[in-house]
Amino acid sequence: MPALKIDGQAIAASIQAEVAAVVAERVQAGRRQPGLAAVLVGDNPASEVYVRNKRKACETAGLASWLHRLPATASQQDLLDLIGTLNGDPLVSGILVQLPLPKQMDEGAVIRAVSPLKDVDCFHPENVGLLAAGHPRFLPCTPLGVHQMLVRSGISIAGKQIVVIGRSNIVGKPLALILMQKPTKAFPEAGDATVTVVHRGTRDLPSICRQADILVAAVGVPRFVTAEMVKPGAAVIDVGINSVDGKLVGDVDEASVAAVAGWLSPVPKGVGPMTIAMLLHNTLRATMIS
């Protein structure tokens, strides 16, 4: 039987509707409207699209959104000054600095300049530390999106063998932290699963992947995961966004894996829209905690 599709677009739409309902209620009660300030440096076409989609989603859900543009030639200090202004602006609940930044800028220093209370991407070391310690302030958007896809598809996480391919700070590492930790009042999303992270340095990666009840691919290599790496009936989540001959493809070879897996998230309309939905969720959360 072919794998069931995990419809990221539909799940994201329901999360956005939930956020929109809370925002409308807040605004009606005269409370502060959540607002996201996006910062775009330079003219990377992919970043333009990402920021446009994020702002559109904010507007649809009733969040305020602002776009601040800096030229590719801007100095690091220009960007730090802008972030300082946004940190101090009470109307701005969340700040998103779209990565990558031009070469002359130190990404780490920029991430550290964003107020941890407005760090809706959950990239600031303080927020990464809180997540690692089991008391998260925010959960990063893409990993939280993967978590929500599983939960809202009725795929249980606790006790499962999960393999995450990729150890990046944006996806693989924080996702592993979410899925493996013990659920508590401070961290109800924690997965309580057994998580293995595999990466470029892993020996015999396919045989480790074949053990997984849930396999998450965040590799950045088109069609990296093939049917031989998948345990029959497993849930496979494809985080990858790759362009091949102008076509968007994921890290999973959909055609072969769909015949083996129990569930499969497509690309496009899988994790991508979930990332945006969780950004809205985090912006609302930022308004509530500050």
Question: Where does this chain touch ligand NAD (CB under 6 A) — which range of 63-71, 94-102, 177-185, 267-275?
Answer: 267-275
Q: Which residue, 19 or 241, is less far from ligand NAD as judged by CB? A: 241
- Cα separation, 194 vs 214, whole angstroms: 10
Total number of residues that touch ligand NAD (CB under 6 A) = 22
Written as one letter, the residue type at 64 is: A
**C-beta of 19 vs 209, nearer to ligand NAD:** 209
Stretch of 29-37, 59-67, 199-207, 208-216 lying at the interface with ligand NAD (CB under 6 A): 199-207
Annotated catalytic residue, options 16, 54, 238, 251: 54
Q: Is 148 in the site for ligand NAD (CB under 6 A)?
A: no
**The two three-digit tokens of residue 166, written as one number:** 């990729």
Rounded Cα distance between 95 and 200, Å, is: 32
**What are the φ/ψ torsions at residue 90 (nearest 5 degrees)?**
-65, -20
Binding mask 64-103 for ligand NAD (x = CB under 6 A): ----------------------------------------
Q: Looking at beta carbons, which pairs linking 22-31 to residues 24 or more positions away fall under 8 Å?
A: 22/284, 23/61, 23/62, 23/63, 23/284, 24/62, 26/287, 27/62
The residue (of 74 and 165) whose beta carbon lies closer to ligand NAD is 165
Judged by CB under 6 A, the stretch of 93-101, 102-110, 132-140, 170-178 that binds ligand NAD is 170-178
Task: Please give the Cα distance from 255 to 285 (Å, whole number).
Answer: 38
CB of 167 to ligand NAD, least distance (A): 4
Residue 240 is a binding residue for ligand NAD (CB under 6 A):
yes
Question: Measured from the CB of residue 282, what is the shortest distance to ligand NAD in angstroms?
Answer: 14
Site for ligand NAD contains 279 (CB under 6 A): no
Following CA atoms 249, 149, 7, 231 in sequence, which dihedral angle do they give, to the nearest 10 degrees? 70
Contact by Cβ (8 Å): 121, 112: no
Judge whether 98 counts as a catalytic residue. yes
Using CB under 6 A, which of the segments 13-21, 30-38, 160-168, 256-264 binds ligand NAD?
A: 160-168
CA distances from 114 to 43, 103, 109, 172 (A): 21, 19, 9, 22
Instruction: Name the catalytic one among 16, 118, 119, 121.
Output: 121
Distance, CA of 243 to CA of 253 (rounded, Å)? 14
For 10-32, letters b (16+ CB in 10 Å) and e give ebbeebbeebbebbeebeeeeee
121 is catalytic: yes
The pair phi, psi for residue 11, each rounded to 5°, is -65, -40
65, 127, 142, 181: which one contacts ligand NAD (CB under 6 A)? Answer: 142
Catalytic residue numbers, as ranges: 54, 98, 121
| Chain contacts with ligand NAD (rule: CB under 6 A) | 142, 165-168, 170-172, 199-200, 205, 218-221, 239-242, 271-272, 275
